[in-house]
Structure 1
């Protein structure tokens, strides 16, 4: 797992190549503020090869954050990440490797009969039940147990550095908010136990919209309440302090609600998700900084905003917008081809916006 000593040594090896704030604190160590995402792409051998080469090149070029999930590309993304880490000339303990559990993962490809696969692989062995599953999402502790075991096997690692509960707001389609908080607390208890066993270092939630929408929205979850449930889970598990340390959410120039919408109770009134996370000591990781490639096109970033951002290309400017948000640890850039690695990594050679300049983009 990532260690203070190895992460700082990695920073020292690459630090001169990047702008001053490129490396940022995570736990006792530091990580790069540009990370690799592995969501997009077909479940094919050719895509596997591209991902493996891209991840390896990225982590050998100054990117120390790799994000994946057991269900991405039918478990193939995790396996490609594992091979890349093994092959790279980089100390594994310098890397923050994050993965997620919560959705049923297919194995290698989508089966012809998906319902039969879920029944045989997940329901019949008792890892989940139909009543616990909502659109392929399940938060039951035994389901997450099995998912984490598969992730460790796929990645070839003894420990993952951050394990996310994946899109818990999916459960709100069939349950009230209180019931979903209860499910999360039970899930966190199990993750606290797996943390004590050494299978994960930290955990968190990876979300799509629950922290970005107004309080009255059907998919809203309160970040302060989720943190409170994590602390309660730590008490129930008997751990000395909660391992809940990270939040992942979309953030880009067209999806900046985590900064602009004050939807979470704070000590002095409503706060944005980013403001609350910063005050609570949580690391925040931005998914979709390029909005799945849309912001890599010339003209996709509003001209008055683009003019304030540093970078040679639209993609670099979009990455640097996400990196500029107060409290943001890293922007996770989907990197399914080694051809994109130099451009993405190159964004880190430019300073992000300062706080006042970032605020001014919303005026």
Structure 2
């Protein structure tokens, strides 16, 4: 397991060593990155796609992209393993980078399978999660018997343990609670926040153990839908809970949500109430001192098929939006990463 985590000093040096214009760099109180991360959602579990990801990640890490985003569910854990292979290559084998120069974020709470086991998702859920790990079915949501969603502490503990192993990291910089709105929709407001309280206690404990450094929520609908929607989650209420458990120095510091030229509701629709004022999800997060990262900035490439937009237009629109810290841009192929990086540094 590779020890350490991203530091302010070493991430700053990372960009200085590459003569990257400081105006292009974003800063948190804990590290520096570009306003983009290498996203690892798209693709299948084939060896071909894994090799493409490993090549792209290594190239990116060497050439200025020190931020990588993933999730346990992405490509049945293969994306995390590909990142782990790339990190081992640049840190341990070639010794051209240090762990403290790199920011890694992942997500826990949705699991479908482990590709290495060569079993069906339904068998993985029943044999591994429910039987071997003794995660109780009544606390979960099963969709089509192939995906499990949860805010149960035991599943998140299992997921983080797997992610650390897959990535080969002692400490993950940011761990997101993945799409918790799917659980809230099923169990209701009170039951959801009762369960979330236990989960936040667990995440603060994971920080103390050194397993993660920060945590947050990666959502699809939760912060952007109206209050009467069963998937709505109040950011202010979540932060009050984090402060109740972890004090003002709590470690819930990041949120992730979709935002792009075709779906800009995260910035334009005032859905979140903070101190009796309705704000957009992005503006509310900023007011609550959270860093906002963006999923689907390229609308998962759907607009390329019609020729409606090009990647440069889409990327610029997202990263130049006030309140956005960084976009998670899928970069399975090196040539796409080079093009995306060029847009950021332009």
Is the shorter-chain TM-score for this pair beyond 0.5, marking a shared fold? Answer: yes
CA contact (8 A) 1:43 1:109 kept: no
CA contact (8 A) 1:296 1:318 kept: no
Q: What is the deviation of 1:251?
A: 0.8
Question: Which residue matches 2:223?
Answer: 211
Question: Which residue matches 2:288?
Answer: 280
1:155 equivalenced with 2:159 (yes/no): no
1:8 equivalenced with 2:39 (yes/no): no
Aligned equivalents of 1:76, 1:112: Cα separation in 2: 14
Aligned length: 332
Match of 2:107 among 100, 109, 114: 100
Match of 1:86 among 85, 88, 99: 88
CA contact (8 A) 2:236 2:273 kept: yes
Match of 2:41 among 36, 39, 47: 39
Question: Which residue matches 1:121?
Answer: 128
Cα deviation, 1:247-267, whole Å, max 9, x if unaligned, reads 000110111111111111123
Cα deviation, 1:99-148, whole Å, max 9, x if unaligned, reads 11101241116965433321221112344211111131011111111110
Q: What is the deviation of 1:338?
A: 1.5
Aligned equivalents of 1:344, 1:295: Cα separation in 2: 16
Match of 2:301 among 255, 272, 293: 293
Aligned equivalents of 1:173, 1:265: Cα separation in 2: 20
Question: Which residue matches 1:322?
Answer: 318
Q: 249-258 or 181-190, which moves further after superposition?
A: 181-190
Aligned equivalents of 1:297, 1:21: Cα separation in 2: 33
Q: What is the deviation of 1:299?
A: 4.2
4+ aligned runs moved over 6 Å, structure 1: none
Aligned equivalents of 2:342, 2:270: Cα separation in 1: 33
Question: Which residue matches 1:130?
Answer: 137
1:60 aligns to what SS in structure 2?
helix
1:348 aligns to what SS in structure 2?
helix
Q: What is the deviation of 1:335?
A: 1.1
Question: Which residue matches 2:93?
Answer: none
Q: What is the deviation of 1:24?
A: 0.8
Aligned equivalents of 1:140, 1:115: Cα separation in 2: 19
Q: What is the deviation of 1:283?
A: 0.7
Question: Which residue matches 2:340?
Answer: 344
CA contact (8 A) 1:294 1:300 kept: no
CA contact (8 A) 2:152 2:199 kept: yes
Aligned equivalents of 1:145, 1:110: Cα separation in 2: 20
Aligned equivalents of 1:218, 1:22: Cα separation in 2: 39
Structure 2 residue runs of 5 or longer lacking an equivalent are: 91-95, 143-147
1:264 equivalenced with 2:268 (yes/no): no
Classify 1:122/1:199 alpha carbon distance in 2 versus 1 (closer, same or farther; 3 Å).
same
How big is the alpha-carbon RMSD for the aligned residues of Structure 1 and Structure 2? 1.8
2:342 aligns to what SS in structure 1?
helix
Question: Which residue matches 1:250?
Answer: 258
Aligned equivalents of 1:56, 1:138: Cα separation in 2: 33
Structure 1 residue runs of 5 or longer lacking an equivalent are: 302-313, 351-363
Match of 1:60 among 29, 47, 62: 62
